[in-house]
Amino acid sequence: MSASIDAAHVAKAFEETFGAAPQGVWAAPGRVNLIGEHTDYNEGFVLPFAIDRAAAVAIRLRDDNIAQLRSSYGAEGTVSVDLDTLSHDTMTGWTAYPLGVVWVMRQMGITIGGFDLYLHSTVPSGAGLSSSAAIECAVATAFNELESAGLSPNELVLVGQRAENEVVGAPTGILDQSASLLSTDGHAVFLDCRTQESTLVPLDLAAAGLLILVVDTKVSHAHATGGYAARRASCELGAEVLGVAALRDVVAADLPEAAGLLDDETYRRVRHIVTENQRVLDTIVVLDDAGPAAIGALLTASHVSMRDDFEISCPELDLAVDTALAHGALGARMTGGGFGGSAIALIPASVKATVRASVVQAFADASFTAPDIFAVSPAPGARRVR
Ligand code: ADP
Ligand code: MG
């Protein structure tokens, strides 16, 4: 699987499937969250960047009300749906992502009739790199243009989030869609999730002789179930007991008092959010003052907080982080919602082969499934590519 999107190839696959050329091809990237985990739905801060892996959709509008969808991934073939009967029962499996976006946009009063859609994605699915938001953002960007809907990037973020929340059923925040829609090449996105205000932060890893290695543990998470929703509920409980609108409003100095008001588990969940928000702010300052080589300790502290306080790591993620750190990584952490997925390691480019070999060996020694390990770099956000 090549990481970069070949728009001509996607257009050709569309034509072979549907018998005519598409009207265009739109691509939206997956993301790595550099720091700021589970802070988005607590109205806090996040610092993701788009990666050089993306979902591309080729689309052609039809004269009727039928949507035909096909993905290059899997053996499902072409799925055909009558848009007049679009409901939670007809938006199932992978088509819930593109059809969920169409459903939300139609709910907003945007006229979307029938279409043919071909999807090809180079974002690994269920690896914590947000293959789901990549699909949503590519589809939302496409129909925004095809139907001249005039939605701003921040409005498209909310379209994708609603599709994920209301149609797919994953209670996620705005992190993933913001990264996919707002990123630019060579930058991370510093986002205030309360106001949706964002700032682009230069992240020139190559100039500092660094790179970010992703270790996809192959442990597939599922956000629509269990742990993610339970963490969200704990945060809501913590905010309620502490009498704040969101945990964003709690700072480190409030923690001693909070400890007396909350049960131990809820307190540790709250402490993760409070310290994580501060780590995002600290990362911005350190990046500006000293450059990316200096943020390693913050990344590792974030992982420890997720492992011990928020309890969303797993043995494979911990092993990836510990092994990378033991072999020259400056910092490492799990990235994304947790319970599986990927870890990232910030490393000097010179130790890439050593870190890779050590992680592969450690996974083999532990009898874990072999991980997939690859470098990522900050890439452009959602856009038309043909
Ligand atoms: P993540 O966003 O971390 O990759 P999710 O569970 O949120 O994980 O999204 C994964 C889901 O997205 C898959 O189960 C599938 O339904 C859909 N998906 C991802 N990539 C593709 C693809 N190339 N073709 C079809 N569906 C895909
Ligand atoms: Mg997802």
Task: With a threshold of 0.90, tell me whether the complex ipTM lies above it.
Answer: yes
What fold, for 206-376?
Answer: Alpha-Beta Plaits (3.30.70)
Q: Over 80: is that where the pLDDT of 217 sits?
A: yes
Using the predicted structure, report yes or no on whether residue 206 has a pLDDT greater than 70.
yes
pTM of the full predicted structure? Answer: 0.96
Architecture of domain 7-202+380-384: 2-Layer Sandwich (3.30)
2 has a pLDDT exceeding 60 = no
d(C-alpha 198, C-alpha 41), whole Å:
16
Domain edges within the chain: 7-202+380-384, 206-376
Identical fold for domains 7-202+380-384 and 206-376, yes or no, is no
> Per residue in 23-34, pLDDT tens?
999 999 999 999
* Angstrom distance (rounded) from CA 214 to CA 127: 10
Q: Catalytic residues, which ones?
A: 176
| Atom in ligand 1 nearest the alpha carbon of residue 337 | 3
Ligand 1 atom nearest the C-alpha of 96 is 16
Mean pLDDT of the chain: 96
Distance, in Å, from the CA atom of 381 to the CA atom of 181, rounded to the nearest integer, reads 5
**Distance from chain centroid for Cα 294:** 24
Q: How confident is the model at residue 363 (pLDDT cuts 50, 70, 90)?
A: very high
* Residue among 42, 58, 77 nearest 248 (CA): 42
Give the separation between CA 296 and CA 332, rounded to whole angstroms.
7
Are 46 and 370 in contact by the 8 Å Cβ rule? The answer is: no
Ligand 1 pocket, CB under 6 A: 71, 73, 94, 97, 119, 121, 125-132, 223, 336, 341
CB 191 within 8 A of CB 197: yes
Residue 176 Cα: closest atom of ligand 1: 2
The whole-angstrom separation of Cα 308 and Cα 277 is 16
> pLDDT tens for residues 333-348?
999 999 999 999 999 9
- Residues 384, 386: Cα–Cα separation, whole Å: 6
Residue 88, pLDDT > 90, answer no
State yes or no: pLDDT of 186 exceeds 90: yes
To test the pocket of ligand 1, the residue of 37, 70, 125, 165 to mutate (highest count of ligand atoms within 8 Å of its CB) is 125
- 292-305 pLDDT per residue, tens: 999 999 999 999 99
Q: Which of 132, 137, 172 to mutate to test the pocket of ligand 1 (most atoms within 8 A of CB)?
A: 132
Ligand found nearest the CA of 221 = 1
Residue nearest to atom 27 of ligand 1 (CA): 94
- Residue 225 confidence (pLDDT) above 80: no
